[in-house]
């Protein structure tokens, strides 16, 4: 019988195996995931799972019965250690070897670690897995001082949960503004104000140089400028690193991600890759990307699953993302940096507005705060390369339908 092996038990892997069965593949499916959990969603880890609003069952993509009923064999808590492409085998950490006809590598990414003085002290946490969050939650407590290194989306989501839970929160950002890597100065300023208004201390231009503590536990964060910021708990959120080592050792091309084409194929016709670990082309944007986003992981997983089963699906989506902070849902489509002008619809003071970005008059991106309709309309307009009249776009009384 034909066998598909999927390495990685995350969002892309979970979606891929569901799509394989949905697409009619009746052969063997084996999933190898090094975490002990069923494939799960990471977004709640810095949001509802961290705050305790969602139990672990809600975080899983699907219940165990889903995999049993579809005869999808899960090898959980097991690491894939070596891929032999000539022999079509994967060697596992439990001593087993799996033979494959087609292989999907969906190894995702891991938190980038700091290797500075004191980074191995207890109380210095990263946030990537359920296990990480369980450890963080156990250390949460009203009045405790939490210092977050990194003012990106994950750091700020943690800040919003922590300050709401009554912790004293400080965010340290080495750049001159939070969210610098991902958004415009105006959006950075908006989120800066939002957080400081809720009691979060934000320090920009502040680079962490080490951690100090006694008895193996962190007590303070040290900065390059010589400060010592007291902390009971530290979260480091300074980006991710794609898990490409397995693919690279198997001789597959890697360049800031496993290199695939728009069919999620590597140069080996029997090996595919999907999700955070890939460097893939985006025809609509006219360039290659490596993305850290659920919609990308799901879409690539669907494409890979279809093509492994003899299909001819191509990936062509405008990237989109979201972030939840306090009662605000930010939805983003496209990249604001691709625009040469911006149009705001709504009033940021009401926490309900959308900033549209245009390039040569063509709509290329949106940042929509508590504005799901504007976000949805923009996705369609970006797909259609719409050229809306900026004055009408800025006027909330003009229905967006008229501008499409």
Using H for helix, E for strand and C for coil, what is the string for 322-350? EEEECCEEEEEECCHHHCCEEEEEEEHHH
* Closer by beta carbon to ligand FAD, 147 or else 278: 278
- Determine, following the binding rule CB under 6 A, whether residue 293 of this chain makes contact with ligand FAD: yes
The Cα 209–Cα 191 span in angstroms is 25
Query: Does 334 sit near ligand FAD (CB under 6 A)?
Result: no
Give the interface segment with ligand FAD, choosing from 58-66, 138-146, 185-193, 288-296 (CB under 6 A).
288-296
Tokens of 122: 């207890």
Q: Which residues from 24-63 bind ligand FAD, rule CB under 6 A?
A: 32-35, 42-43, 45-46
**Minimum distance between the CB of residue 228 and ligand FAD, rounded to whole angstroms?**
28
CA–CA distance, 70 with 87 (Å, rounded to integer)? 27
Binding test (CB under 6 A) with ligand FAD, winner from 5, 9, 170, 254: 9
Sequence-distant (≥ 6) Cβ neighbours of residue 21 within 8 angstroms: 29, 70, 72
Cα 386 to Cα 234: distance, rounded to the nearest angstrom: 45
Site for ligand FAD, residues 77 to 96, rule: CB under 6 A: 79-80
Check residue 260 for interaction with ligand FAD (CB under 6 A).
no
Q: Is 322 in the site for ligand FAD (CB under 6 A)?
A: yes
Query: With contact defined as beta carbons under 8 Å apart, do 9 and 297 qualify?
Result: no
Two structure tokens written together for 296: 């990308």
Between CA 379 and CA 389 the distance in angstroms is 17
Number of CB atoms found within 10 A of residue 376's CB? 15
The residue among 281 and 295 lying less far from ligand FAD, judged by its C-beta, is 295
173 binds ligand FAD (CB under 6 A): no
Candidates 22-30, 61-69, 101-109, 342-350: pick the segment binding ligand FAD (CB under 6 A).
Answer: 101-109
How far apart (Å, rounded) are the C-alpha atoms in residues 186 and 259?
34
Rule CB under 6 A: say whether 12 interacts with ligand FAD. Answer: yes
- Least distance (Å) from ligand FAD to the CB of residue 399? 28
Give 113's contacts (C-beta < 8 A, 6+ positions apart).
119, 126, 236
Q: Which two tokens stand for residue 227?
A: 């400060």
Per-residue contact track with ligand FAD, 124 to 143, x per CB under 6 A?
---xx---------------
Please give the residue ranges that form the binding site for ligand FAD (CB under 6 A). Answer: 7-13, 32-35, 42-43, 45-46, 79-80, 106-109, 127-128, 154, 243, 246, 275-277, 292-295, 297, 321-323
């Amino acid at each position: 019988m034909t066998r598909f092996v999927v390495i990685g038990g995350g969002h892309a892997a979970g979606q891929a195996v569901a799509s394989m069965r949905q697409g009619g593949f009746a052969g063997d499916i084996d999933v190898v995931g090094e975490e002990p959990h069923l494939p799960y969603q990471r977004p709640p880890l810095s949001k509802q799972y961290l705050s305790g609003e969602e139990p672990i069952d809600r975080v899983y993509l699907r219940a165990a019965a889903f995999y049993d009923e579809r005869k999808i064999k899960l090898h959980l808590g097991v690491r894939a250690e070596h891929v032999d492409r000539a022999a079509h085998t994967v060697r596992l950490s439990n001593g087993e070897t799996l033979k494959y006809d087609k292989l999907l590598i969906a190894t995702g990414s891991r938190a980038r670690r700091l290797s500075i003085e004191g980074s191995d002290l207890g109380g210095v946490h990263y946030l990537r897995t359920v296990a990480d969050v369980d450890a963080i939650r156990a250390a949460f407590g009203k009045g405790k001082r939490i210092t977050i290194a990194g003012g990106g989306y994950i750091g700020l989501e943690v800040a919003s949960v922590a300050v709401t839970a009554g912790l004293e929160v400080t965010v340290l950002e080495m750049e001159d503004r939070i969210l610098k890597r991902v958004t415009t100065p105006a959006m950075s300023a908006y989120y800066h104000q939002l957080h400081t208004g809720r009691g979060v201390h934000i320090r920009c231009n502040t680079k962490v140089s080490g951690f100090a503590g006694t008895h193996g536990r962190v007590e303070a964060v040290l900065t390059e400028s010589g400060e010592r910021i007291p902390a009971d708990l530290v979260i480091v959120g300074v980006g991710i690193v794609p898990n490409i080592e397995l693919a690279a050792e198997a001789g597959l091309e890697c360049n800031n991600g496993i290199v695939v084409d728009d069919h999620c194929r590597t140069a080996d016709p029997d090996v595919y890759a999907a999700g955070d670990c890939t460097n893939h082309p985006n025809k609509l944007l006219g360039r290659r990307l490596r993305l850290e986003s659920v919609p990308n992981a799901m879409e690539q997983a669907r494409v890979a699953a279809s093509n492994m089963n003899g299909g001819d699906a191509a990936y062509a989506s405008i990237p989109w993302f979201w972030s939840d902070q306090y009662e605000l849902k930010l939805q983003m489509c496209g990249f604001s940096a691709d625009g040469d002008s911006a149009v705001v619809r709504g009033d940021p003071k009401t926490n309900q507005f959308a900033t549209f970005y245009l390039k040569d008059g063509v709509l290329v991106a949106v940042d929509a705060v508590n504005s799901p309709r504007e976000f949805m309309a923009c996705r369609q307009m970006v797909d259609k390369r719409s050229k809306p009249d900026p004055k009408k776009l800025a006027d909330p009384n003009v229905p967006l339908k008229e501008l499409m």
